[in-house]
């Protein structure tokens, strides 16, 4: 009996679903991503051989060569709460839209009374604003920089406890190292007295630990 030959056909793969998935992913990232705003100040910190990485979440005070202080907080939820509390402390009324914009504004070095007007500007217009720094040199009363540090310390603790409790209830692992850290990034040529004054703000606000951000240099040769 002759052998029956089965017709052969080349296998094919329909790529249409993969293309659709790719476009869905691209659309998702376009809609959910946000561009980092241009920093109002760039400083060149002193160097060291320490290789410790910058913490995941920080409240950072940047000090430029002129001694101006800029603040930034990388946790959006905490940043919004601290903004509202500092504004209320100094008697500045905020709109909900201003609070929302502030969470994505990046580093800012302005009096809190000037921040809402600054946030109304387009990103390209903000670069033309001359920022004079967050006030910290006062006599007889707490400065705005103090209130930023003070309320950040309180809200950082509340945020940590809330995330810890949520992880406990959902029986999920909890990273205790993911805590908002206080850091100072100062220009290498900034005057010592100015940096010392900023550090004193942390002490007054009962911030017990903070870190200094430095550039990385090669370790000295032992030869």
Tens-digit pLDDT profile for residues 8-17:
666 666 777 7
pLDDT of residue 141: 75
The pLDDT of residue 25: 81
Contact between 40 and 110 (Cβ < 8 Å) = no
Looking at residue 78, its pLDDT comes to 94
pLDDT tens, 123-177?
Answer: 888 888 889 999 987 566 789 999 999 999 999 999 999 999 999 999 999 888 8
The region that residue 125 occupies, defined by phi over 0 for left and psi between -120 and 50 for alpha, beta otherwise, is alpha
Tell me the two tokens of residue 208.
């017990």
Q: What pLDDT is recorded for position 72? A: 93
Confidence of residue 49 (pLDDT cuts 50, 70, 90): low
pTM across the whole model: 0.78
User: How many residues are recorded in the chain?
Assistant: 223
Least confident of 34-48, 58-72, 163-177, 207-221: 34-48
Q: In terms of pLDDT, which residue wins out, 99 or 127?
A: 99
Q: Average pLDDT for residues 95-102, to the nearest whole number? A: 92
- Give residues with Cβ within 8 angstroms of 110, minimum separation 6: 118, 129, 131, 132, 133, 134
Q: Report yes or no: 12 and 182 within 8 Å, Cβ to Cβ.
A: no
Q: How confident is the model at residue 89 (pLDDT cuts 50, 70, 90)?
A: very high
> What is the reported pLDDT for 4?
60
Q: What is the mean pLDDT of the chain?
A: 83
- The set of residues, in sequence order, having a beta carbon less than 8 Å from that of 56 and lying 6+ positions away, is 74, 177, 178
The CA distances from residue 153 to 2, 78, 171, 206, in Å, are: 88, 10, 27, 8
The lowest-confidence range among 27-31, 104-108, 192-196 is 27-31
């Amino acid at each position: 009996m002759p052998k029956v030959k089965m017709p052969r056909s080349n296998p094919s793969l329909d790529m249409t679903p993969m293309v659709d998935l790719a476009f869905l992913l691209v659309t998702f990232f376009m809609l959910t991503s946000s561009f980092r705003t241009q920093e109002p100040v760039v400083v060149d910190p002193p160097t060291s051989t320490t290789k410790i990485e910058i913490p995941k979440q920080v409240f950072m005070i940047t000090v430029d060569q002129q001694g101006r202080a800029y603040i930034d907080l990388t946790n959006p939820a905490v940043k919004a709460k601290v903004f509202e509390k500092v504004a209320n402390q100094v008697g500045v009324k905020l709109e909900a839209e201003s609070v929302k914009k502030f969470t994505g504004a990046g580093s800012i070095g302005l009096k809190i009374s000037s921040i809402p007007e600054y946030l109304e500007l387009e990103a390209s217009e903000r670069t033309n604003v001359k920022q004079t720094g967050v006030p910290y040199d006062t006599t007889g009363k707490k400065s705005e920089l103090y209130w930023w540090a003070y309320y950040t310390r309180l809200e950082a603790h509340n945020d940590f406890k809330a995330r810890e409790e949520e992880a406990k209830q959902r029986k999920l692992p909890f990273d205790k190292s993911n805590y908002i850290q206080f850091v100072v990034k100062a220009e290498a040529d900034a005057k010592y007295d100015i940096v010392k004054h900023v550090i004193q703000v942390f002490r007054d606000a009962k911030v017990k630990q903070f870190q200094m951000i430095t550039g990385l240099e090669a370790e000295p040769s032992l030869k």
